[in-house]
């Protein structure tokens, strides 16, 4: 159903897209991406995922709202959310009044976020069974069989009649961001998708104006760590922070956030991440208006 | 060094064993077993592993000591520890006075436990660097580079002059246990190594006398879940408990224990298990001596 609706993304090519059929048996890599997409629906768009969203998205939104306290002015603030997955953080920023561009590379995520944002109409309209294949670490057979409804809120109507705008941009972050400018960039569970973290830091720097805002949260599970033939530079967190400061950011706030990621909360095994969280501004010096108030 | 000393296990075949050389490049499966053995040394025989041991081994030992309160009589109590890994739980039971047989299938574990139990003489004699290859989720480069010493206590002298005995038995649990009898069986992080959990339950039942003790702790990360060509029956915990009761055990105590397993405590990612813990006795009825006291 998600894939069928995704053909709607293709505009005039709709009927051509409808004629695409799967003729080969899907590979295990493909199937594992389907499974992780289903788990991502739980994280971003079900009430099961609320604790995970509260842990990571809430601090970001509160930080941004403290930086931009006047809600009616926020439509002028352009925020980029790279690696936006199924778009929930981007959507919540829209609801807070910002103009947001989400960027995502994975077709699995793009198809599914299109479906959720544009096709789902009612809260809890659909039910998935994301834990059916969790064969290990199960307390009771019922735990495996339970359904999860999504989206957790009605969506189609929430986007209209706003001065701010919401766009989704498909493609590689480093390509997308080239030449673009945003007032703020929010990288949530994103930095470790880099082949070369130095390029990400440079790109974020280049896409911000002086004093532009960068908020980051996430662990460092380097996605290309064990992928043959791919560059993978596995810095530690302290090395990344050193590079960020050397590049010309001043780090205003730095803390740690405990969070899980797409866990089955009823499993015997819970992967608990402690994420690095920071809020930084581009430019080494305080802007002049701030400097004056210090004297 | 561990492999060289392992040749001592082979008695008369020592010199033959010394002539075995590795002519092929080790496979990635082999290397991952070496890495997990190194992590297992930390868990069982270093002070880094103390929190993990305290979580799982301590409750078992305290339970057994409550069942068999007279220390001087414990040498008559024969305990089997299947899947004993590097032998720490078996060793600690010996120190509490029991006669213990450890059983282990993996040569990696057998070689290494032989080295620790029979070759190591002093506390903190050796240093390993188990986190060198943890490329992801690292806070500081120093965290990757830190050494861990083992064993956490002097060993060679602790085994002598005891009325109880300690033996290690190499091989498959189902083969080893056939026809043997033990007063107690302690299955710690073991049940999920089964191809067929029903056979394990049957074998434990058969190896105990009436009223014999079974203590279990562990999650259910079924080892053969994704192994092609292997039987794997992935029951949930409640289904296992049902089977245990149906087989003819009475479950005297049942609880949950939170524990980690070979974690790098400085990593951003901590795998947290909630283990099923139970203490059961073979036979559906209270033994007659107990029944009398109830009337």
Name the more confident of B247 and B14.
B247
Give chain A positions within 8 Å (CB) of B274.
268, 270
Q: Give domain status of residue A125, yes or no.
A: no
Q: What is the pLDDT of residues A229-240, one digit of tens each?
A: 999 999 999 999
- A141, A221, A239 ranked by CB distance to B137: nearest: A221
Q: Which two tokens stand for residue B247?
A: 């087989």
Q: Which two tokens stand for residue A169?
A: 């941009």
- pLDDT over 90, % of chain A: 80
Question: Chain A residues contacting B, CB < 8 Å?
Answer: 135-141, 143-144, 192, 219-222, 225, 232, 234, 236-239, 268-276
Q: Give domain status of residue B145, yes or no.
A: no
pLDDT of residue B157: 56
Q: What is the pLDDT of residues B108-134, one digit of tens each?
A: 999 999 999 998 889 999 999 999 999
User: Chains A and B: how many Cβ contacts under 8 Å?
Assistant: 100
Judged by CB atoms closer than 8 Å, whether chains meet at A272 and B269 is answered as: yes
pLDDT of residue B292: 43
* B241–chain A nearest CA distance, Å: 10
**CB neighbour list of residue A99: distance below 8 Å, 6 or more residues apart:** A74, A75, A76, A77, A78, A79, A164, A165, A166
pLDDT of residue B217: 98
pLDDT confidence tier of residue B26, bands split at 50, 70 and 90: confident
Question: CB–CB of A271/B221 below 8 Å?
Answer: no
**Site from B32, B135, B270 to mutate, A interface, most A CB atoms within 10 angstroms:** B135
Question: Chain B residues contacting A, CB < 8 Å?
Answer: 135-141, 143-144, 192, 219-222, 225, 232, 234, 236-239, 268-276
Q: Give domain status of residue B29, yes or no.
A: no
Give chain A positions within 8 Å (CB) of B143.
236
Where does residue B256 rank: exposed (0-12), middle (13-18), buried (19+ CB within 10 A)? middle
Give chain B positions within 8 Å (CB) of A135.
222, 225, 232, 234
pLDDT of residue A295: 36
Residue B285 structural domain: 50-120+162-294
pLDDT confidence tier of residue A286, bands split at 50, 70 and 90: low
Of B32-36, B70-74, B135-139, B235-239, the least confident:
B32-36
Chain A residue closest to B257 (CA)? A268
3 state SS of B248: coil
Of A10-19, A173-182, B85-94, B194-203, the least confident:
A10-19
Q: Which two tokens stand for residue A229?
A: 């033939």
pLDDT of residue A264: 96
Give chain A positions within 8 Å (CB) of B273.
137, 268-270
Q: What is the pLDDT of residues A239-282, one digit of tens each?
A: 999 999 999 999 999 999 999 999 999 999 999 999 999 999 99
pLDDT of residue B286: 59
pLDDT of residue A134: 94
**In whole numbers, what is the pLDDT of chain B averaged over residues?**
91
* A144–chain B nearest CA distance, Å: 9
Q: Give domain status of residue B15, yes or no.
A: no
Average pLDDT over residues A47-68: 98
pLDDT of residue A130: 96
Beta-carbon count within 10 A of A199 CB: 14
**CB neighbour list of residue B144: distance below 8 Å, 6 or more residues apart:** A236, B131, B132, B134, B138
Q: Give domain status of residue A112, yes or no.
A: no
pLDDT confidence tier of residue A121, bands split at 50, 70 and 90: confident
pLDDT confidence tier of residue B1, bands split at 50, 70 and 90: confident
Average pLDDT over residues B199-203: 98
Q: Which two tokens stand for residue A45?
A: 């768009």
Give chain B positions within 8 Å (CB) of A268.
219-221, 237, 273-276
Give chain B positions within 8 Å (CB) of A132.
none
Q: Give domain status of residue A115, yes or no.
A: no
Q: What's the rounded Cα separation, in Å, for the pair A106 and B256?
A: 39
pLDDT of residue A292: 43
pLDDT at A287 over 60: no
Nearest-CA neighbor of A182 among A286, A70, A64, A66? A64
Question: CB–CB of B212/B109 below 8 Å?
Answer: no
Could you give phi then psi for residue B60, rounded to 5 degrees?
Answer: -65, -45
Residue located via tokens 């995502």: A104
* A128–chain B nearest CA distance, Å: 21
pLDDT of residue A293: 40
Domain count, chain B: 1
Judged by CB atoms closer than 8 Å, whether chains meet at A138 and B274 is answered as: no
**Distance from chain centroid for Cα A210:** 24
pLDDT at B167 over 50: yes
Q: Give domain status of residue A103, yes or no.
A: yes
Q: Give domain status of residue A83, yes or no.
A: yes
Phi-psi map region of A100: left, alpha, beta (phi>0 left; psi -120 to 50 alpha):
beta
pLDDT of residue B287: 52
Domain with A198 in it: what CATH number? 3.40.50.150
| Direct distance between the N- and C-terminal alpha carbons of chain B, in angstroms, rounded to an integer | 62
Residue located via tokens 């493909």: A30
pLDDT of residue A291: 44
Give chain B positions within 8 Å (CB) of A270.
271-274
Question: CB–CB of B224/B195 below 8 Å?
Answer: yes
Q: Which two tokens stand for residue A292?
A: 């004056």
Q: What is the pLDDT of residues A9-20, one digit of tens each?
A: 655 555 555 555
* A63–chain B nearest CA distance, Å: 23
pLDDT of residue B162: 84
Of A25-34, A102-111, A135-144, B42-51, the least confident:
A25-34
pLDDT at A226 over 70: yes
Supply the ipTM of this predicted assembly. 0.89
Average pLDDT over residues B46-72: 98
- B140, B219, B238 ranked by CB distance to A269: nearest: B219
Q: Which two tokens stand for residue A145?
A: 């069989």
């Amino acid at each position: 159903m998600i894939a069928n609706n995704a053909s709607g993304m293709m505009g005039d090519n709709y009927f051509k897209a409808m004629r695409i059929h799967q003729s080969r048996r899907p590979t295990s890599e493909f199937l594992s991406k389907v499974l992780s997409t289903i788990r991502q629906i739980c994280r971003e768009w079900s009430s099961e995922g609320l604790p995970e969203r509260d842990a990571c998205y809430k601090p970001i939104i509160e930080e941004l709202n403290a930086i931009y306290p006047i809600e009616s002015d926020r439509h002028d603030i352009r925020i980029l959310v790279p690696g936006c997955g199924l778009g929930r953080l981007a959507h919540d920023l829209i609801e807070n009044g910002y103009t947001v561009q989400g960027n995502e590379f994975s077709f699995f995520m793009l198809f599914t976020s299109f479906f959720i944002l544009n096709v789902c109409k009612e809260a809890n309209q659909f039910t998935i069974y994301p834990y059916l294949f969790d064969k290990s670490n199960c307390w009771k057979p019922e735990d495996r069989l339970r359904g999860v409804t999504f989206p957790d809120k009605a969506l189609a109507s929430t986007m209209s009649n706003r001065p701010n705008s919401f766009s989704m941009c498909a493609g590689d972050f480093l390509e997308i961001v080239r030449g673009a400018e945003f007032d703020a960039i929010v990288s949530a569970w994103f930095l470790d998708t880099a082949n070369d973290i130095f390029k990400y830091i440079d790109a974020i720097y280049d896409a911000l104006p002086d004093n532009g805002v960068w908020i980051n949260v996430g662990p460092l599970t380097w996605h290309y760590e064990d992928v043959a033939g791919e560059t993978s530079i596995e810095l530690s967190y302290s090395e990344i922070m050193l590079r960020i400061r050397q590049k010309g950011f001043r780090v205003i706030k730095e803390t740690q956030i405990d969070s899980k990621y797409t866990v089955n909360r009823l499993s015997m095994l819970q992967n608990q991440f402690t994420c690095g969280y920071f809020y930084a501004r581009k430019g080494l010096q305080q802007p002049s208006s701030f400097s004056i108030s210090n004297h």
